[in-house]
Structure 1
Amino acid sequence: MADIQAYIILLFLWLASLILVKTIFSKKKTASRLPPSPTALPFIGHLHLLAPIPHQALHKLSTKHGPLMHIRLGSVPCVVASSPEMAKEFLKTHDSSFSNRPITAAVDYLTYGSADFSFAPYGPYWKFMKKICMSELLNGRMLDQSLPVRGEELRRFLRFMEKKASAGEKVDVGGQLVRLTNNIVSRMIMNRTCSGNEDEAEEVRKLVEATAELTGRFNLSDFIWFCKNLDLQGMKKQLKHVRDKFDSMMEKIIKEHEDVRKRNDNGGAVKDLLDVLLDISEDENSEMRLTGENIKAFILDLFAAGTDTSAVTIEWALSELINHPNIMEKAREEVDSVVGKKRIVAESDISNLPYLQAIVKETLRLHPTGPMIVRESTEDCIIGGYEIPAKTRLFVNVWAIGRDPNHWEDSLEFRPERFIEGSGKSQMDVRGQHFQLLPFGSGRRSCPGTTMALGVVQTSLAAMIQCFEWKVDGSVDMKEGPGLTLPRAHPLMCVPLLRLNPFPSV
């Protein structure tokens, strides 16, 4: 409903702008060194060209106007990079000029006034929080330490699917994958899972999904200056509901941690990330003093970044495999030959499963969970011979780059073989060094959780391939839906069929 309201408002603005078009285009144009641009309308600029799904619409425009475009979204100047070469210019050569992320009204509200890590300006606070994130959650030692947690949650997921298979019941695969990834992140951050409480589990899933949906939704007040203080789409009420729910949940969890700390009765358990953050907030000599809002916003970042994204990637990968049974069978043969049928695949097996790794790379190429990298320039710079002013918003169209026929043979086909040794792209990884493939971004603001995400995605997908066949009615619809993390337009509904008999003990 909110999107329909936005389109109606844009339609009125578009009609009003037609009155001025003739006057404006009759004026002599001054020389400009901005990149090429489609024809803009007064007030709304190019907003009318972005529907229904922005990254697809921008890709279509780039085929006409080139790999570097200038567009204006309302009163916000933007540039769009749609080729690996342009992506490298912005994210490597001029990384220091594009080190900030723009703040939208939704992000600012949900993160307590941008008190988080993901959207904090590049500077001392951001560097401090990244250091904490890497040293206390995502480095090799901590990932090894949390390996049993990931294994336990995967086995819980497989037991659930085994029960559904025995009953012959259809499953919302994406919903269950969100539960899996949510529980992994929750236990790693604050040693807590909601698996035993169905109501709480559902509430957390809804909060994560609502956060992704609201932060990815088009909001007129972010782009049209005279709408800045208006809530024409009714988003404030929804934002308040989501943040209040999250705030209430986090206050309860923080109080539980603080009570345990006061009693000092944690039984010598290893501190979780929340304990570390609380230690920092209480340390007067800390390099940075964290507030309660800093802690809550940081944890919201980790939930949003680590839950929905991994689940969506696995869901897209399984969808592709169901539609390509020959690739599914080849993947199963590889898992069976390396792991066998008497135990469940483990993270330690992944290095011996190159075809499975290729499947995940190919999934991330066609279905990147961050279809566009968004940055904002902090200073004037010249790129590709064009002037890019400060405060210009940058969109790197990762989705378009992954489908660029100049860099990918049969670019729209799902072909994992392109990443197998001898294919020419076997050494290409997803960590931001190869600009044809940027699912986790590149540069100083690339995703810090790449290693963990790949471990969860690859191991979970391998286990789903190994343990079950996945029955659907006909073929799987591969349409994309709107949103920040490239969701499917329709949920993947499957009946899991037991493939291993007897089923390995999990």
Structure 2
Amino acid sequence: MDITAIFILVSIFTCFCIFFTQSGYRKWGANARLPPGPYRLPIIGSIFKLGNKPHHSLAALSKTYGPLMSLKLGSTTMIVVNSGEIVKEFFFKHDISFSSRSIPYATHSHDRHTNSMVWLPVGDKWRTLRKISKEQLFSVHQLDASQHLRKKKVQELLDYVQDCSENGKSINVGQTAATTTLNVLSNFIFSINLAQYDSTSTEHIKDLVWSLMEVGGAPNLADLFPFIRLLDPHRMLQRASIVTGKLFAVFEQHIRYRLEARAMQSSNAPSSTNDLTDLLLDISQNEKSSINLVDIRILIFVRYIYFSL
């Protein structure tokens, strides 16, 4: 190695040292206000303190550093609360300050992080979607109104089981239960069955939902080191985009069909059904409404995922 190469390597190493030293001085004041926590290594922080079972590791660390501690995971600072009293303090007195949450990079697929009530920060749009969800999607009135629908789908389940029993046919309990749940949801949202007993359609949609949950809950270096997000090292964003796109395609197909059916009716005619899709479309077509078709798709998506788990 010649003298020029050695000089370049030494210069780069010196620049890195100066950068991390200055960064440490800049952050010292902020870190001094953080709760106590384990020693932070340069760049990676306290990642290796979590181990294979993070919940066990956090419980053990809280015995050393107290019920309120801080962890540095890559470039992300995490505050860990392991006390019911402190949780009450957060949520009852400082709920607005702590209402926003860190957004997993996988949720950036199809811009869900900017349209979903789950990830939006507190603001006008978040309040609008929350109000619609509270009064329309998850209200006691809506649940009571769909009681006959649930009874009908349970009766279909009993009829299917009875038929299998009379014909000596085996039953896949998991798939049969998933089909019933899926049809209860799809009828509440679209007034149709999305699956049939003894059909692979149930497994397909169930696999999509579980795949999305796995991607959203899996560890991702892009969440700890935002500067490598463009590389998508674990391909989490790519996988989430594929799965989300397939689910959105199912929902959009039925939304478009409903819009076409409504366009053929008189503008003053009542909704053709009383399901969730018509309810949301009625709200969106109000002159003072602040939601659009993208919001409707996300609301249906959230409702479907929430009740599928």
Short-chain TM bin: 0.7 to 0.9
Find out whether 1:128 has 2:163 as its counterpart. no
Amino acid at match of 2:215: L
How far 1:137 moved relative to its partner?
2.6
Amino acid at match of 2:281: L
Find out whether 1:275 has 2:289 as its counterpart. no
Bigger helix share: 2
User: CA separation in 1, counterparts of 2:200 and 2:217?
Assistant: 26
Alignment of structure 1 residues 14-93 onto 2, 5 Å: 32-93=32-93
Deviations for 1:453-501, whole angstroms, at most 9, x for unmatched residues?
Answer: xxxxxxxxxxxxxxxxxxxxxxxxxxxxxxxxxxxxxxxxxxxxxxxxx
Specify the alignment match of 2:301 in structure 1.
300
Question: Relative to 1, partners in 2 of residues 1:90 and 1:131: Cα closer, same or farther, differing over 3 Å?
Answer: same
Q: Which of these two proteins has the greater Rg computed from alpha carbons?
A: 2
Alignment of structure 1 residues 111-126 onto 2, 5 Å: 111-126=111-126
Which consecutive unaligned segments of at least 5 residues does structure 1 have?
A: 1-19, 309-506
User: CA separation in 1, counterparts of 2:44 and 2:282?
Assistant: 48
How far 1:55 moved relative to its partner?
3.2
Amino acid at match of 1:59: A
User: CA separation in 1, counterparts of 2:125 and 2:73?
Assistant: 30
User: CA separation in 2, counterparts of 1:118 and 1:110?
Assistant: 14
Question: Relative to 1, partners in 2 of residues 1:102 and 1:181: Cα closer, same or farther, differing over 3 Å?
Answer: farther
Contact 2:108 2:237 in 1 (8 A): no
User: CA separation in 2, counterparts of 1:42 and 1:102?
Assistant: 22
Indicate the SS of the match to 1:97: coil
Specify the alignment match of 1:319 in structure 2.
none
Contact 2:114 2:120 in 1 (8 A): yes
User: CA separation in 2, counterparts of 1:305 and 1:151?
Assistant: 21
Indicate the SS of the match to 2:59: helix
Deviations for 1:379-415, whole angstroms, at most 9, x for unmatched residues?
Answer: xxxxxxxxxxxxxxxxxxxxxxxxxxxxxxxxxxxxx
Question: Relative to 1, partners in 2 of residues 1:55 and 1:306: Cα closer, same or farther, differing over 3 Å?
Answer: farther
How far 1:164 moved relative to its partner?
6.8
User: CA separation in 2, counterparts of 1:221 and 1:258?
Assistant: 39
User: CA separation in 2, counterparts of 1:60 and 1:168?
Assistant: 51
Indicate the SS of the match to 2:97: helix
Moved over 6 A (4+): 27-31, 163-166, 265-268
Indicate the SS of the match to 1:109: helix
Amino acid at match of 1:95: D
User: CA separation in 2, counterparts of 1:155 and 1:305?
Assistant: 24
Question: Relative to 1, partners in 2 of residues 1:235 and 1:225: Cα closer, same or farther, differing over 3 Å?
Answer: closer
Question: Relative to 1, partners in 2 of residues 1:81 and 1:270: Cα closer, same or farther, differing over 3 Å?
Answer: same
Indicate the SS of the match to 1:256: helix
Deviations for 1:242-270, whole angstroms, at most 9, x for unmatched residues?
Answer: 12212221221111111221223999654
Specify the alignment match of 2:144 in structure 1.
144
User: CA separation in 2, counterparts of 1:54 and 1:170?
Assistant: 38
Contact 2:107 2:240 in 1 (8 A): no
Specify the alignment match of 2:288 in structure 1.
286
Amino acid at match of 1:187: N
Identity %: 28
User: CA separation in 2, counterparts of 1:165 and 1:38?
Assistant: 60
How many equivalent pairs are there? 282
Which consecutive unaligned segments of at least 5 residues does structure 2 have?
A: 1-16
Deviations for 1:415-457, whole angstroms, at most 9, x for unmatched residues?
Answer: xxxxxxxxxxxxxxxxxxxxxxxxxxxxxxxxxxxxxxxxxxx
**CA RMSD of the aligned region, Å?**
3.1
Indicate the SS of the match to 1:114: helix
Contact 1:106 1:214 in 2 (8 A): yes
Contact 2:113 2:119 in 1 (8 A): no
Bigger strand share: 1
TM-score scaled by length of structure 2: 0.78
Contact 2:248 2:301 in 1 (8 A): no
Find out whether 1:188 has 2:188 as its counterpart. yes
Amino acid at match of 1:107: T
Specify the alignment match of 2:255 in structure 1.
254
TM-score scaled by length of structure 1: 0.50
User: CA separation in 1, counterparts of 2:256 and 2:65?
Assistant: 55
User: CA separation in 2, counterparts of 1:203 and 1:132?
Assistant: 30
How far 1:75 moved relative to its partner?
0.8
Indicate the SS of the match to 2:230: coil
Specify the alignment match of 1:356 in structure 2.
none
Alignment of structure 1 residues 459-478 onto 2, 5 Å: none
Indicate the SS of the match to 1:271: coil
